[in-house]
Amino acid sequence: MGNDQSQLPGIEIEEKAVEVSDFWTQHSACILNSEIVTNLSVFIGELFIDGSLWAVQTPLEKNSKILMIYRHPCIIKYVSSWQKNSKYYLAVEEVTPLAHILPTLNTLQICIGLHSILKALHFLHEKASSSHNNICVASIYVTKSGSWKLGGMEYLCKYKDLDQDYLNKSRTNRYDKAIDTNEDKLLLNINKQKDFIDVYAFGVLACEVLKSKGNSDDIPNLSSFCEYCHKELQNSNISQ
């Protein structure tokens, strides 16, 4: 999927990182084609990462593969990927980490963004039969037009592959506040839908990004929505 020959022609990647995470750095980049400039974001990661979960492919390679396969308007748009000098590169549409701009957003913008993430999750759950497994602010990016896009696909897996061993191996680096303490028990409940991991995490996400907004006058029933996210989506009752 990636090699030295597949590097985007004419791409210029800024050396300074926009964001640094556990597994990669994010950089601004552009391609100059004639007189047209195309702005992109490029993620750069190591080709070798310790951990049994990454024996076959690194987190960035898996993220890249998932973005290439699963296309949706609310998921980050894959552009290209390649390997060079023991590094792995993933080029996507120009995006900014949500954490960088969240303080500047009003309540309506946040609610619209959350709706976009819900649409991305519906696609992954219903069409791809997959669980994202790490829904949090760090897995969300924002385009220049203000649209929220879901990324951070390194922990995604098919429902059929979602078991205790996989969750145990991935739990160390997933967002701990969005991990249900009853996760393993819920997984053993044959009557439980496999989307419960993302449902719980979305409830945590919604509460976190809206917590500073209080009872906003421009969004009716906002407090009721936040209460629903806290009491219903984050309900760990394993008897249900």
Domain shared by 106 and 219, yes or no: yes
- Residue 62 sits in the same domain as residue 112: no
- At 240 the pLDDT is 45
Where in the sequence is the domain holding 133, given as residue range(s)?
Answer: 96-233
Whole-model pTM above 0.95?
A: no
Higher pLDDT among residues 8 and 214, named by residue: 8
CA-nearest of 59, 20, 13, 7 to 39 is 13
The DSSP secondary-structure symbol of 103 reads G
Residue by residue, DSSP assigns 178-224 as GS-TTHHHHHH-TTS-TTHHHHHHHHHHHHHHHTTT-S-TTSTTHHH
pLDDT surpasses 90 at 236: no
Q: Which of 72, 94, 116 is the last residue of a domain?
A: 94
Give 158-209 pLDDT, tens digit per residue: 999 999 999 999 999 999 999 988 888 888 876 678 899 999 999 999 989 9
Residue located via tokens 């009491």: 231
CATH of the domain at 170: 1.10.510.10
- 188 in any annotated domain: yes
CB neighbour class for 25 (10 Å; exposed up to 12, middle 13-18, buried from 19): middle
Read off the DSSP letter of residue 23: S
* One domain for residues 208 and 221: yes
Give backbone dihedrals phi and psi of 217, rounded to 5 degrees, phi first.
-75, -25
- Of 37-41, 118-122, 211-215, the range with the lowest mean pLDDT is 211-215
Residue 15 sits in a domain whose CATH number is 3.30.200.20
The reply to whether 100 and 31 lie within a common domain is: no
198: Cβ–Cβ under 8 A, 6 or more apart, which residues? Answer: 121, 124, 125, 131, 132, 133, 135
- Digit-coded pLDDT (tens) for 50-108: 888 998 999 999 999 999 999 999 999 999 999 998 999 999 999 999 999 999 999 98
